[in-house]
Amino acid sequence: MTTHAKDAARAVIVLAAGEGKRMKSALPKVLHPLLGRTLLGHVLAAAEEAIGGEATVVIGHGADRVREHLTQIAPRATAALQAEQRGTGHAVRIALDAAPELSGTVVVLNGDIPLLRAHTLRALVHTHETTRAAATVLTAEVPDPTGLGRIVRSTGGEFEAIVEERDATAAQRGIREINSGAYAFEAATLREMLSKLSTDNDQGEEYLTDVIGLLVAAGLPVVAHRAPDATETLGCNDRAELAVLRGLLRDRVNDAWMRAGVSIIDPLTTWVDVTATLERDVVVEPNTHLRGATHVAEGAVVGPDSTLIDVVVGAGASVVRTHAVSSQIGPSASVGPFAYLRPGSQLARKAKVGTFVETKAASIGEGAKVPHLSYVGDATIGEGTNIGAATVFVNYDGVSKHRTVIGAHARTGADNMFVAPVEVGDGAYTAAGSVITMDVPPGALGVSRAQQRNIEGWVLRKRPGTAAADAARRAADSEEHHDGPPPVGGAMPAG
Ligand code: UD1
Ligand code: CA
């Protein structure tokens, strides 16, 4: 970009007051999510990257929710309220009234064109400033222009006007070059022409697009900048279009990661939010969703059938058929198949959370393992410890949650209950089937279960005639006819 362009004053106005009726939603259209950001969030991110500065966002429909969203994603943006949606021209006028000092280049963006790239926006501004145009319109040649404003050019190819479909003649409807809803204007002339807009059209609204016609009529230069990739200019009016945009963005994101050295086995079923990041030699197996601030480090394998939301996966880790939220998975750790990591799960290097295991606010030490069928809530497990199958960390007394701490290199038996708060020391063991309610000192064996007793002959007496009784009798008979000593390890028949 030239020095002239860099020094120029620039501002961004995003139009986001419309209801988006065809979304048929309680949520304002611009707040609908699309791979990690709202529609509005995508537009603001592109504007921030291309132009910087503080955007003015025109809000109206669902103003409270949109304003709340803005405080989260763009706290420096200014919200300008358009109480009644009287058209895109009216909306820009309200934004300019809120910023009377504004000069230089004003970029206006519809809030519902989320695929627009920063690079394209930069090119639009560059064209605008180098040609010293009064207005520059981002246009695109599309296969189906239905519903969009058409770019009308003179026989010599000069830009003449934007005509909305509902106001267009049959011949104009045949035009396939459309208005994307992204523009660069010179602030002073924009301000002047907005004051001259009429509502003399099919919708009785003030059209921003009519500013173009007024500028042309005044003999001022208007330029069309055609987007090289028409998909970037696609708007979103209903949920079917939203799904189309989602598919296009998925392809774009996947393509970029594959070119950066990530193996995506099935790009059609891999959904990576624009906010997620991956390192080289990561393998993403089919039907995997990487959402939010998820990061996957080098050589890790994620999927199939997994959803990771705000999860950090260490290098070389394996995460199979897993749902994980706000958790950290250490390098070379192993998770799943069929694991559920709830917020605050932290697996150190080489830790394992295996099959049908749920964890929450649990810190699992280096090389420690929870291999099978367990719930680990509010717990700390030391390095090298093994938790037996079907263990429950009983963290909830019905009123509050309590923690369990298990030391390093402990071996806890299968089917244990750790009734928190409780501690098991370093190197301690617990017996299978134990309900551990008292601390187990380091190196001790904690046993908490009834002593086993066998009632001899019970089945023959109490369940005569059953298959079990018959089997028991055959076993007793064969032992009676056995000549040699009892088999090694076998019990002597009871006297
Ligand atoms: C607009 C353009 C059309 C272009 C299309 C691209 C006009 C008159 N037409 O049409 O040429 O091809 O975008 O998608 O501008 N908005 C407000 N306040 C209002 C009205 C709209 O903030 O009073 C916002 C909406 O929230 C939306 C954007 O402006 O983000 C565009 O409005 P929309 O009604 O979708 O315009 P289109 O009819 O699609
Ligand atoms: Ca629209």
Phi/psi for 72 (5° steps) reads -80, -45
The string of pLDDT tens digits covering residues 184-206 is 999 999 999 999 999 988 889 99
480 CA from centroid of ligand 1 (Å): 94
Residue whose CA is at the smallest distance from ligand 1 atom 16: 18
Residue type, 489: G
Ligand 1 atom with minimal separation from the 60 CA:
22
Beta bridge partners of 223: 136
Phi/psi for 355 (5° steps) reads -85, 130
Judge if the beta carbon of residue 111 lies within 6 A of ligand 1: yes
Q: Which ligand is nearest to the CA of 59?
A: 1
Query: Pairing mode, if any, of strands 417-419 and 404-406?
Result: unpaired
The string of pLDDT tens digits covering residues 324-366 is 999 999 999 999 999 999 999 999 999 999 999 999 999 999 9
Ligand 1 atom with minimal separation from the 58 CA:
22
Average of pLDDT values for 164-184?
A: 96
Q: Are 265 and 248 in contact (CB under 8 A)?
A: no
According to the model, what pLDDT value does residue 394 have? 98
Supply 192's token pair. Answer: 């002047």
Is 90 designated active site?
A: no
Average of pLDDT values for 313-318?
A: 99
Beta bridge partners of 376: 359
Q: How far is the C-alpha of 426 from the C-alpha of 434, rounded, in Å?
A: 18
Ligand 1 atom with minimal separation from the 162 CA:
11
According to the model, what pLDDT value does residue 202 have? 87
Ligand 1 atom with minimal separation from the 16 CA:
26
Provide, rounded to the nearest whole percent, the portion of the chain with pLDDT above 70.
96
According to the model, what pLDDT value does residue 2 have? 40
Average of pLDDT values for 56-81?
A: 97
The string of pLDDT tens digits covering residues 427-462 is 999 999 999 999 999 999 999 999 999 999 999 999
Q: Are 93 and 56 in contact (CB under 8 A)?
A: no
pLDDT band at 54 (very low <50, low <70, confident <90, very high): confident
pLDDT band at 483 (very low <50, low <70, confident <90, very high): low
Average of pLDDT values for 128-141?
A: 98
Beta bridge partners of 213: none
Judge if the beta carbon of residue 207 lies within 6 A of ligand 1: yes
Judge if the beta carbon of residue 235 lies within 6 A of ligand 1: yes
Q: Is the pLDDT of residue 425 over 60?
A: yes
Of the candidates 372, 402, 481, 482, the residue annotated as catalytic is: 372
Ligand 1 binding pocket mutation candidate from 14, 88, 242 (most atoms within 8 A of CB): 88
Q: Are 274 and 291 in contact (CB under 8 A)?
A: no
Q: Which ligand is nearest to the CA of 16?
A: 1
Q: Which ligand is nearest to the CA of 29?
A: 1
- Residue 263 half-sphere exposure, CB side, CA atoms within 13 Å? 12
Q: Is the pLDDT of residue 480 over 90?
A: no
Judge if the beta carbon of residue 162 lies within 6 A of ligand 1: yes
Judge if the beta carbon of residue 87 lies within 6 A of ligand 1: yes
Mean pLDDT of the residues in the chain: 95
Residue whose CA is at the smallest distance from ligand 1 atom 28: 110
pLDDT band at 312 (very low <50, low <70, confident <90, very high): very high
Judge if the beta carbon of residue 212 lies within 6 A of ligand 1: no
52 CA from centroid of ligand 2 (Å): 24
Judge if the beta carbon of residue 208 lies within 6 A of ligand 1: yes
Judge if the beta carbon of residue 17 lies within 6 A of ligand 1: yes
Q: Are 329 and 348 in contact (CB under 8 A)?
A: no
494: DSSP letter: P
Residue type, 449: R
